[in-house]
Structure 1
Amino acid sequence: MLKYVVSGTLKDPKWNNTRVLSGDVRDEVAKLKTEVAGEIQVPGSIQLAQALLAADLVDELHLMTFPVLLGTGRKLFAETPGRTTWRLAQNRTVGEGILITTFQRV
């Protein structure tokens, strides 16, 4: 599977099937969306997810909510330039009350 890594410093990744996106992340991902057939996923990078949400480049969100309150941490939904509308496409509970929700852009 081809992997894309967003980095301002990494030039020559040693990982198999890896391409570095080093330009403006919004432009690079917008271009990828026209070139790649299928899903483009962002597993676990809150900074990248926030940038893509702010640039209106996200079509679907898969969120896992754990029933634990830590009191601190970073917000997933940072301030965005405008309002967007999402619809709940799917939800299910797994394990010890972990809620998995899928939202699609309206």
Structure 2
Amino acid sequence: MGSIIVSENISLDGVIQDPTGEDNLGRGNWFAQIGEQNLAAWAKVELDEALGAEALLMGRRSYAWFVARGWASSRTGEWADRLRSLPKYVVSSSGLEGPDWGNTTVLKGDVIDEVSKLRQEMDGDIVIYGSGRLVRTLWEHDLVDELRLMTYPVVVGAGERLFGETTGATPLHLVSVRTVGDGLASLTYRPVSDA
């Protein structure tokens, strides 16, 4: 059985929206404030994560974001090559007719059923980048096995957060903490099972 791994860039106050400033929300581009050393260290962590993944899972908007920024075709380097080679699964109830990124399967229908089936059929890590709506849906149905939060030293103050209101509290176990570069913190959590 596969493991659903949520991998997010997140501010100290939990914002995941507009880290690159491209959404023009007036508070974005906190990603660019980390400096070259931190950027190189972050890219190494992301590459290692991609090399360890068996597949990517995304919502339609995150998938479109990656495609629009050349990940499907024009980006170069080992990380881009790895993402192109991975099987990609996109949850879309509408708006994604034909995939623009090779090795992509569109999951239509009930998201919980489709992701549960995918999780049963795969072995290894199924990594989710971005995809806040999808993450919240999977979280509410206990389908997230691990949270990997690359935490940026900035308070954004507004924007879409990883979690809003939930139906209940979920206890988590801290698996690891590590400094990335000289300013980022990588935090890994797993839900505490009742077993």
Fold shared per TM-score above 0.5? yes
- Following the alignment from structure 1 to structure 2, what is the Cα–Cα distance between the partners of residues 78 and 29? 22
Q: Which amino acid aligns with 1:91?
A: V
The answer as to 2:106 corresponding to 1:20 is yes
Other structure's SS at 2:102 match: coil
- Following the alignment from structure 2 to structure 1, what is the Cα–Cα distance between the partners of residues 103 and 131? 20
Q: Which amino acid aligns with 2:115?
A: V
Q: Which runs of 4+ in 1 moved over 4 A?
A: none
Using CA pairs under 8 Å that are at least 6 residues apart, name the structure with larger relative contact order, 1 or 2.
Answer: 2
Question: TM-score scaled to structure 1, two decimals?
Answer: 0.91
- Following the alignment from structure 1 to structure 2, what is the Cα–Cα distance between the partners of residues 34 and 78? 28
Question: TM-score scaled to structure 2, two decimals?
Answer: 0.51
1:78, CA displacement in angstroms?
A: 2.0
Aligned to 1:34: 120
Question: Within 5 Å, which residues of 2 pair with 1:1-106?
Answer: 1-7=86-92, 8-106=94-192
* Count of matched residue positions in the alignment of Structure 1 and Structure 2: 106
User: Whose helix proportion is higher, 1 or 2?
Assistant: 2
1:25, CA displacement in angstroms?
A: 1.2
1:40, CA displacement in angstroms?
A: 1.0
Structure 1: gaps of 5 or more residues = none
Percentage of pairs with the same residue? 51
Structure 2: gaps of 5 or more residues = 1-85
- For the aligned residue pairs, the C-alpha RMSD in angstroms reads 1.3
